[in-house]
Structure 1
Amino acid sequence: MRVLKRFSKTSTGQKLIGFIFYFITKLISHSIRWEYFEQSKKSKIFDNKHKYIFCCWHNKLFLGPHLLPRNRVINALQSSHSDGMITSLAFQYLGMNVILGSSKKGGMQAFRRMVKRLQLGESIAITPDGPKGPKEKVKEGIIKLAQMTNTPIIPLVWATRKFKIINSWDNFVLPYPFSKGIYSFGKPIYIEKKIDINKFELKRLNLENEIKRLTRILESKIN
């Protein structure tokens, strides 16, 4: 076990594990019988004329990236710790760009890079409660990013009929292959540039509650 742990922290080990993670998630995603629950027009989300900040809970990271549109440049924010690096490599195999950073390490630099990418007309993908929680609590960063760049936030939610919950801080969800699945892009959430602290907090709570609301709807429909 110690040898495997050391290997997983090497560049070669991370590349190998990253590819395996990507390959497994791709196989499972393609095996699921997906249904789209419309909150936003899928055609509008999937055209390449608009930039968005996509977000999903950290515990839905297993399949979330596979449901994002492929006809645009998407930059995924990921932690720079070893687990985050493995996920980052999997994202790159999916054709996404990766911006490394978190609230504790490289946060401001990563934030500036995301602002730059959005100014260039590219999109961003974020887990608003990652990388270490609290679970399903939206942090301020995504609201500030949307506010500064005048970019709408699009919640991404999915659920499958059969799944396993891992004993982790976020109760990470592992979907079973060949299950029935449902997913949805929520309605765009805009953040005005000039708002006071109270309204800023209200916007943060609105996003948090909207993701939870969509999650409840999809879970009830799939079951």
Structure 2
Amino acid sequence: MKIKVNPTLVAVPMAFLYKVLTKTLRFEVEGLENLTEIMDRNDPVMLALWHNELFSLTSYGMTKKFPYVTMASDSRDGQIITETLERVGYKVARGSSTRGGVKAILGMTRMMKKEGLIGVITVDGPKGPRHKVKQGILAIAQKTDSLIIPMRGYVENPLVFKKSWDRFEVAKPFCRCKVFLGTAFKVTDQKLSPEVLDLEAAKLETIMLNLGSGF
């Protein structure tokens, strides 16, 4: 018999531990002005992240307390992630590229427009390929007329889950994390045909791969 765990019972301690760990991390940041200048103009903006750097960059995002919205799947695991993120200050649109993707894109688009939130997307998630930009962020950015800020996080001596598809990284307590925010990327005004999407995704991918440096 499969036992169903109440997501709240998992999310509450996870969020607590996440907040405690975040307070121990030492962030070194370059390019924050690329984001804040856009926010000062009240222009819509999105952050593009790699999935394996999600832990450290979400932690850094918590410290800034900006108004974020991200996506999580419609699965039970997604419910746990949603409740955890909401407890650390993020809003969440449910769905993913594998389950309810259109629903999530529409939900995020609506929340960004209505509430003026910063969209946060792991552009190679949820299942890869690793460091390959998928096209969802381009569609949302065009629909919301948003600029995209590429964002990277390099963690000092991280715990790496080597068997995961993305080699997911978790920051250890009291470690240093280098955060880089790149120059704003503007999606083309052209109709997003498959060919145009491929070109735009390749441009963003190149920018992200070349952004910043590790330890």
TM over 0.5: yes
- Structure-2 separation of matches of 1:119 and 1:43: 18
Q: Which runs of 5 or more structure 2 residues have no equivalent in the other structure?
A: none
Whether the 8 Å CA contact 1:150–1:193 is kept in 2: the answer is no
Greater shift in the superposed pair: 135-144 or 193-202: 193-202
Matches within 5 A, 1:46-61: 47=40, 49-61=42-54
Structure 1's consecutive aligned runs of 4 or more residues displaced over 6 angstroms after TM superposition are: none
Matches within 5 A, 1:6-45: 6=3, 9-11=4-6, 14-38=7-31, 40-41=33-34, 43-44=36-37
Percent of paired sites with the same residue: 28
Q: Which runs of 5 or more structure 1 residues have no equivalent in the other structure?
A: none
SS in 2 for 1:65: helix
In the alignment, what sits opposite 1:211? Answer: 208
SS in 2 for 1:156: strand
1:142-180 C-alpha deviation (Å, 9 max, x unpaired): 111112221111122111212111121111101111112
Matched, 1:153 2:148: yes
Greater shift in the superposed pair: 137-146 or 101-110: 101-110
TM-score by length of 2: 0.86
- Structure-2 separation of matches of 1:131 and 1:174: 17
Whether the 8 Å CA contact 2:56–2:177 is kept in 1: the answer is no
SS in 1 for 2:210: helix
- Structure-1 separation of matches of 2:159 and 2:59: 19
Greater shift in the superposed pair: 18-27 or 182-191: 18-27
- Structure-2 separation of matches of 1:104 and 1:26: 29
- Structure-1 separation of matches of 2:15 and 2:32: 28
Q: In structure 2, which of residues 109, 115, 119 is the aligned counterpart of residue 115 of structure 1?
A: 109
Matches within 5 A, 1:1-223: 6=3, 9-11=4-6, 14-38=7-31, 40-41=33-34, 43-44=36-37, 47=40, 49-68=42-61, 69-72=64-67, 74-120=68-114, 121-166=116-161, 167-195=163-191, 197-214=194-211, 217-219=212-214, 223=215
CA positional deviation for 1:48:
7.9
Task: Give the number of the structure whose residues are more often strand, by fraction.
Answer: 2
